[in-house]
Chain A
Amino acid sequence: MANWTTASRKALTEAMSVDTWLPEKMPEYAQGFMYMLGSLTASSFVALIISGVVLAANGPASWSYNGADRFAAAVHFWSVQAFFFFMMLHLWRVFFTGAWRGGRRETWLLGAVAMIVAIPTAFTGFLINGDFYSQWNAVQAKDGLNALGLGWVNLPNAGQMFGMHVVVLPLTLSLIIFGHIYRVRIKGVVPPYPITQEAATSKEAK
């Protein structure tokens, strides 16, 4: 790390290369639905951003009574469901395949951080919808944050929640997801556990 510029050039060359982002070959084992789950999660996030931008552009006042905005809100709502649904399936897939092996521990950690940041991201969205679910959860959930000394985040303040939900949390989440997927691309998807000898000797090898 003697020369920062050299180090940065090296890192950026890899980060900005089409070989990193648009591979034309994949390992033979990385095929099928199990390997679509991460991309389905990321695609749901894209749907969230697009429908969210439409909603944000029109401003919070019209969400609850403007028909077209209701539709955008519905797309946004179901995208959240899809996002978490695929994320959980993806989480099972990467867990059951021990996908942190071979220097992929940080990839897993970033995934876990994405998950825990996604929770308040979704939650603050519920809080600015303005219906009873918003109202109740803003008032109800404040106690937990306050108890932990996080009362600066004032759930009953819809203005603060708007900023959190529209800028702070999605931006943070985007960066984490980017880092997560970047690491996956740099490291490649994890190779399977060895099994051939075991299969031959029929039981788990010691």
Chain B
Amino acid sequence: MATHAQEDMVKNYRYVPEDFMKHLMGTLGIVSVLVLVLAGLFGVPEQPPLTIQNNAIQNPVAFEAMTTRDLNGQGRMANYGPPYNNGTGNLEFVFQKWVGVLHPLNAENDFIIKPLRMAATVNPAITPPLNAFESASPAQQVAWANNYETALAKGTVRNGVVVVPAGNYGPVPALMNDTLKLGESGLMSGALIRNPSVVTRFNNQNYQLFLEGDPLHNAAASLQLKGTQWGIQHSAVVGYPGAWWMTIPTWIYQWPFVANSPAADAVALSIGFVFWLALALTPWIPGWNKVPRYLGVYKLVWKDFYYRQTHPAAGKGDDTRGVS
């Protein structure tokens, strides 16, 4: 197998002395100077995160719209699907179903009810609406939440409380305003990042997923970070390089049939993987593995070598360099 490749290679070349250690130290030196200078000049790009507290303070009505969607099952996480729950909103592929619910998340309970139960020990006024909500039928809960979500389109903020036109919302407005207050206080992060068994708090999943939905997407859109904006290519701080090595997968995401697919992520990554396979298997792909020979760029890379080969006189000087 390797033999036919051999015909592809020159055999009449010499070895010349080389200080390999110097070569290694040289490249390490170049890189060290380069990164130290860049780090000194430009530092590291850092865009402040969108905290739950900031979001609650800055966009109270939108915040409540998001938390209300945790109650009616319309939120991105509420209806996500595996590995978080049994929803269908982000169920793209059969594999996703097979892995099952690995990191259980019940948006209604984990994002709203449990934090409010904890807050109620400090502020007992939270308890009655909470009990009223929990003792209602699921259908009733969803109906209230749906009505309130619709009404929030006309929501305004008065004395720090979101107010909507009168309607049939049950205890939902009270609960959502309590959730908003909890968010504004900054205590929501503590209520979400919990693990009663250990003191470490390494798993911040619920904190990060709480804002999944309009808040994060709007913030990302204004920074050109969304997938349809070639997101990963861009740094969150203008002027810095992003993950430009993701150009090909990002480009695939822009293909109309991928972008419009309900399984966009699965399709884009699968196609990206095929691209990688084509690269990785290049040596084994007949025809494709001959392409560099026809492109001829190698003639530039080995220009000096070929020159010496075709001009034996020019190589004379080099012959004195102690050949093995």
Contacts and interface: CB of A to CB of B under 8 A. Distances in A.
A102 B9 contact: yes
B257 interface: no
B83 A112 contact: no
Given A24-B20, A78-B34, A135 B50 contact: yes
Contact of B39 (A23, A31, A78, A84): A78
Contact of A22 (B20, B46, B227, B297): B20
A131 B46 contact: yes
- Interface SS of chain A: helix, strand, loop or mixed? helix
A193 B293 contact: yes
A119 B216 contact: no
A113 B279 CA distance: 10
Interface of B: 2, 5-11, 13-21, 23-24, 26-28, 30-32, 34-36, 38-40, 42-50, 81-83, 90, 92-93, 95-96, 98-99, 102-103, 200, 202-205, 208-209, 211-212, 216, 219-220, 223, 225-227, 231-232, 235-236, 241, 243-246, 263, 265-266, 268-270, 276, 279-284, 289-290, 292-295, 297-299, 301-302, 304-306, 308-310, 318, 324
B156 to A, nearest CB: 28
A78 B38 contact: yes
A120 B231 CA distance: 16
Nearest to A83: B31
Contact of B92 (A29, A143, A200): A143
What is the interface residue range for chain A against chain B? 35 or more
A195 B276 CA distance: 31
B96 A146 contact: yes
Interface centre among B200, B265, B289 (most CB of A within 10 A): B265
Contact of B306 (A126, A159, A192): A192
A129 interface: yes
